Structure formats: structure tokens, C-alpha cells
Amino acid sequence: MKRRTITCVLTVLCFSHILFGQTEKVSILPAPAHISESSGTYTLKNGIKIGVSNKSLLPAALYLQSILQGSVTSKVITGKGDICLQLENGAQKEGAYSLQVNAKNIVAKSSSYSGIIAAISTIHQLLPVESVQKTKKGVQIPLVNIKDEPRFAWRGLMLDASRHFWNKEEVKRVLDMMTLYKLNKFHWHLTDDQGWRIEIKKYPLLTEKGAWRTFNSQDKECMRLATEQNNPDFLIPENKLKVAGKDTLYGGFYTQEDIKEIVAYASQRGIEVIPEIDMPGHFLAAISQYPDVACTGLIGWGQTFSSPICPGKDSSLEFCKNIYKEVFALFPSKYVHLGADEVEKSNWKKCQDCQNRIKKEGLASEEALQAWFVRNMEQFFKENGKRMIGWDEVVGDGLSKDAVIMWWRSWEKGAVPSALAQGKNVVLSPNACFYFDYQQDKNSLKSILEFDPMSNATDIAQQNLIMGVQANIWTEYIPSMKRVEYMIVPRMIALSQVAWGNKASKMSTADFMKALASQMSRLDKMNVNYRITDLDGFYNVNAFVNEGHLNISCPLPGLEVRYTTDGTVPTKSSPLYKGDLKVTETTNFMLRSFRPDGTGCDVVNTKFIKEPYLEADATASPQENGLLAIWHDFRGNKCADITNAPKKGEYTVDNISIPSEVKGNIGLVLKGYLQIPQDDIYTFALTSDDGSIFSIDGNTVIDNDGPHSPREVIAQKALKKGLHPIEIRYFDSNGGMLQMCLINKNGEKTILSKDWFKH
């Protein structure tokens, strides 16, 4: 029987605090390992005493006092109090704690300062949202008994301060959000090609001039997006601008006193600050002010990418080490990040100093020269009592077991096994799910929650080498703290669940979403510019034959959605979505959800296309199952250009994916026929990193083209039974990903097998 209509009606997912509270009174993220609840509450009243068992806990007590100050007055004392913070003896995992809230008092115990901070973070989440306002009756919190400990010692978040700069108060805001969700490692990316952000007294030009720039292409793109999306979060903050002559400059930097203040602020909250001064590449901000550290006569090369220092000059090495001497003195952490990624070495091939170094040290290549530089810096770090961290490009550089490898290249599957086999510690930061500057979609939280940190560890010894996980937020296109918040919340909460939660507290995506809903009112009160999780009930492209329906399901209670159909960005005055919208003609909808404070989230586009069933090719007579895959040596950024590149090979593939033989520069064209079993409307989900295009009968069904991070596009097509010619084009320069699934009427995904394809 022919299907004449399509109705996009999914179960409404309006999670409410009331409904969730019927099954569980307490919602804490990350979920504690063990929690039991009792009936009744404990009331915090004005004048309560916060008692510490040891003076070393006074900073923690003052931090708790700052949390409570919007609710009740309090006093910090040494000894027992209404809230007791107690250090106890015993062998506990770093960060472990117990928390008992009974009718008489609150007692938090741990063998470590970090455990007490974790207990305070839990107390913070136990406080009712109304507690941010003072009340005469006091503040009631539920009676609980919690025993909890983290899965990983490293629960990190990296903030890039080079591409766009964050002042002290903005950095502190990030630290406060980290503490609330028990993240404890703040990786601070302080220098890059676009700006130098840390005062180095020996080289004052690094910040006097290197911290400021005229507007670059990234700034201009942010301003374009602010206009296009009617989103002020993309505007360049005026407090980051200054006028120098006829030029308006963007920038800012941290004095050494600023650094000390932020490090102390983080330390009070149990957060370790790990600085990164990236070298030998990503060094243009320094080279522009001190050109002698670059290869002689070659500074002009690579200013749009990553101009490196000259490792052939002893003076360049001295420059790097002098910088790090001042950095070491500012940061108590034993960990310091060298960076050492994405180094373009063309200059080194032309530089006589570099070639002399290669000859003198008996090195085989420019790659070996970089490894020599990294080893040299690691030895310098060790001499100064520091452990070096490097991005995973350094895994083959012959470093000692003290070096820590930070894995970021998801496509480099061998990096983690190689590091573990060498006995090195590893921090997992795969870009596919832990790069929080990447565009978000309905799969973002799921991909984080489903990430298995132990998937590369073959035994207990290797598992013990995995220090933990970290998310990174690169800020080329993130100019404001409001935009930072939008990109990291709620993803950082999902990260905390993976980093902290053990097997006993592991949560499904559905359970996490319920717990997350109860966090939103708290985030509202904190004025966090969080991203509302994706609207559902429609696809990027929706096909219908006679009549379609836009029936949006909402992830949060009281969500306001407004829409337009004329191509303009929805505003607060646009039509309010009130329920099922019948669609009888091809229509483009622009949807935008608004938070309770009236601020809007990103704009969502969805297109409804009215079309007849597409006829099959009655003349087709393919002979084999599967598809023909043609590989081109392609380095462009548009799928249309792939076939202009030289062909490297042909393969037969069972599904839409990258053949195992295809590596490096990838331009892929997959051709064949799609065998449709019956007349119907079919839903296809194409995920790629970078660009891809899916065509049926010469018509583009999914356009996922252009350079981008992993992104899924879902589209429907009305197809008649039979064979339909298809083509999938895909490109990537570093071995990304390509996958296509079929989505059934229940929303379940299935990877199309070779039985669906002929060629």
C-alpha cells in the first residue's frame, strides 16, 4: 500500500522538575557512586557556623561561605560547626569524599582538600534554586548520605585565550562552572599565532605588541555571524578593543600578578592550572616581535598558518627556555604543556641553521629535528621539576616515560596504543566528541556519554596509565564569554559524568537528560548562557507527498519556540510555535528557541518539500552487490572538485564508508544503485568529517559539503520501489569519518548493508 503522507510526530520529551521529582528527590551531576535519601530536610539559618578540622581547609570553608552568602549569613570557625569540613586519615582515591546531611548538621569528610571541594560542589547542587535569594525561613536541603569518588584523576577543560582573550573575571566564571561539576584541571592555552597573552618580563614586546592585532578573518567572520544570526554573542566585546593611531586593535594579556590571582582562585576551588606555551609551531605572535628566533630570511612564510621557531639556532632555544623559566615560577602545577602540534617544516628545509643542526645531531629529517627539539625541551622541563605534556604528534619523538601524551586526533587510532605501549601516561581529548568549539547537534551529548576511555587499554597496567579525559574549546569563532558558555554548557556536564562517574553511577543518555533538566533552573539563576538541547520532531529536509506536519518535541519545560517562513531570523516578535503545524506546500522554516531570560539560541533550519514518488530506473541491470568507490588524491574543500584530482584507486565497498586502503588526502566518489524495497518516504542520515554530498538520480538529497567537524545531516526522499542510481562524494585531508544510516519510522538507525546496493 502506497504511503501518501508523512507525519513527523514524535513523543514529546518535556522533562519537568515535578515529574522527575516523583521518582527521585535529589539530582546531582556527575551522579554520585552511592547515595541514600531519608525523609525530611535540614534547615540552614542565618548565623550558621562552618567548622574546619584543620586550618588547611579554611580556603575551602571560605569558598562554601561565598556559595551560601546569597541565602544565609555564616561564620567560618576552627572546630565543629553546623557544617563540618573534616580531614580524616585513610587511603582514599584523590577527590573521594563522604557527605552526610542529617536533621542536626552537615558533615563532609575526606582525606584530601580536593575531596572536601567535591563535597562542597555536591552541597551546592543540594541547595534549592531559590536559595540564591535570601529568605527569613532559612534554606532547606534534603537528608542524604553520600559516598563518592572520581573515576579519573584528570577531569580537564582547556580554554584557548589566544584567538580571543578572556579577562580575569571571565576566566574565574569558567573556573566556577568547572568546580560546580567537579572538573579539576584547567588547561590554559596562552599563546598562539593570533596573540600572546602572558607577560614575560624578559621579553616585554610579547605583550606590548604581540597581545594586540588588527581585526583578522576570524574576527570578521564573528561579526558577520552576529548580523546573519541576529546574535550579539558573536560581537567583538568593546572592552577588548583599543585605538592605536588610526587602527582599532583587538587584544589583551595577563600580567604576572593576574596569573597569580587566577591560579590562587583556582587552587581554592581544587583546580590545578596547567599552562601551555605552544612551540615550536603556532609561534607567530612571538616571531613577529622577535624575528631573530625564526629561520633567517624566512619569517614571511606561513603567516596564515603556523610559522615555527628556528631550532637550528642556539639563541632560539635560549629564547624558548627563558620564557618557560618565568612560566615555571608562576604555575605551581608539576604539569606544563609544550603543545608541539601542527608544525609546518617547509622553512626548516630551506634554513641553513636547521640543516646544520640536522647534520650535527645526526638526524635523518626535518621530522627528526622536531623530535630533537621536543626531547631537548622535555629535558629542560625535568631539570626544573616539571612534567611535559604534548599533543599526540609527539608520541614518536623518543620522550621519557615522564612525558604525558594528550590525544586529540581522533583519526590517529594508533596514537594511544603506541603511548600506552611505551609506558606513558595519556589524557584523552579526541576532537570528534571533546572539541567543544565544534558545532553541536542532537548527537553531541550522546557521543560524549558513550565515549569509552578504556577502549585502547589492553590490561590493568595500561588502564592505570590513562589519567583521564579533557575537553578543549578553541576560540577562533568564539569572541564572547556568552558564546563560550553556550558552547560548553551542557557538554561540560556530560564530560563531568564521563570523567567522574564509575560503573555504579554510569548513566544512559535518557537518564542523563532527565537529570540535566533539573539543572537548568539553577543555570538560569546563575545567568549561564547554556544551549538548550536540540528540538526534535523534524529533520533537515522533510519530504511529503500530500501533507506534512511540523510537530516539535521540546526537551525542557516551558520552552518558547518562534519561527519564520520568509528566510528571516526569528525574534521575540516572530510567530510563537503552539503545536502541530500542517504543511501543504514546500516551505522553509527557521526555528529558534528562547531561554526564560528572553535570550535566543542558534537558529535551526528545516525544509519541508512536497514531491511525488521518484520513479526507479527500469533499465538498470547492475551485476554485483555493494558500491564502487573511486579514490582521488584530493586536497580541496568542495566535493564538486574531487574528480579533477588524480585517481589513486578503485574498490568495492559494502556500505557508505571509507575503504581501509584509503588514507591521507581523500577525495572519494561512491557510485552504484540503491535498491528500494517498496514505495515509501525514506530517511537518510549522512555523517562526515569533512564534506560530503549524497545524490539520488542526479538530485542532491543531502548537502553536507565544505570543511567542518563531524556533522550529521538528515534528509528524506519519496522513492518508488526499484533501483535508483546514487552517488556519494566525500573529502578529508586527515582521515576523518563517513557513515550513512537509514532511519525507520521509530527513529531507529541502521547502517545500510551491501544488500541495499548494486553496481
Q: Which of 282, 337, 632, 759 is catalytic?
A: 282
DSSP symbols for 289-306: T-GGGSPTT-TTTTTTTT
Cis peptide before 219 (omega within 30 of 0): no
Q: Backbone dihedral region of 18: left (phi > 0), alpha (psi from -120 to 50 degrees) or beta?
A: alpha
* Burial of residue 527, with CB atoms counted within 10 A of its CB: 0-12 exposed, 13-18 middle, 19 or more buried: exposed
d(CA 570, CA 282): 39
User: Hey, what's the cell of 288?
Assistant: 613577529
- Longest CA–CA separation in the chain, Å: 88
How much is the CA Rg of the chain, to the nearest whole Å?
28
Q: Which residue of the set 192, 278, 393, 705 is catalytic?
A: 192
CA dist., res. 217 & res. 193, Å (int): 13
- Could you please report the per-residue DSSP string of 425-480? EEEE--HHHHBTTSPP-TTHHHHHHT--TTTT--SHHHHHHEEEEEEEE--TT--S
Residue whose C-alpha cell is 587566577 = 262
Nearest alpha carbon to residue 199 among 250, 256, 283: 256
Which is the catalytic residue, given 88, 94, 326, 342? Answer: 342
Backbone angles phi, psi at 737, to 5 degrees: -150, 155
**Strands 722-732 and 8-9, how do they pair?**
unpaired
CA distance 718 to 501: 44
Spatial CA neighbour of 258 closest among 319, 372, 386, 167 = 167
| 282 is a catalytic site residue | yes
**CB neighbours (10 Å) of residue 509?**
16
User: By the 8 A CB rule, do 126 and 144 touch?
Assistant: yes
CB distance 598 to 528 below 8 Å? no
Distances (CA, A) of 132 to 71, 294, 448, 521, 536: 5, 54, 31, 11, 32
| CB atoms closer than 10 angstroms to residue 151 | 22
DSSP letter string, 305-345: TTPPP-TT-HHHHHHHHHHHHHHHHH---SEEEEE--S---
Q: Cell numbers at residue 447, please? A: 557521543
CA 230 – CA 210 distance, rounded (Å): 32
Tally DSSP H helices, then E strands, for the chain.
Answer: 20, 38
CA 471/CA 158 separation, integer angstroms: 6
The DSSP element (H or E) to which 121 belongs, if any, is helix 113-126
Name the residue among 284, 312, 285 with its Cα closest to residue 296. 312
| Alpha-carbon span 486 to 440, nearest angstrom | 10
Other Cβ atoms less than 10 A from the Cβ of 499: the count is 28
Q: Is 759 a catalytic residue?
A: no
Going by the DSSP 8-state scheme, the letter that residue 600 receives in this structure is B
Cβ–Cβ < 8 Å for 283, 343: no
User: Would residue 192 show up in a list of annotated catalytic residues for this protein?
Assistant: yes
| Non-local CB neighbours of 106 within 8 Å, separated by 6+ positions | 42, 82, 83, 84, 99, 100, 123, 141
CA distance 82 to 139: 13
Q: Which residues are annotated as catalytic?
A: 192, 282, 342
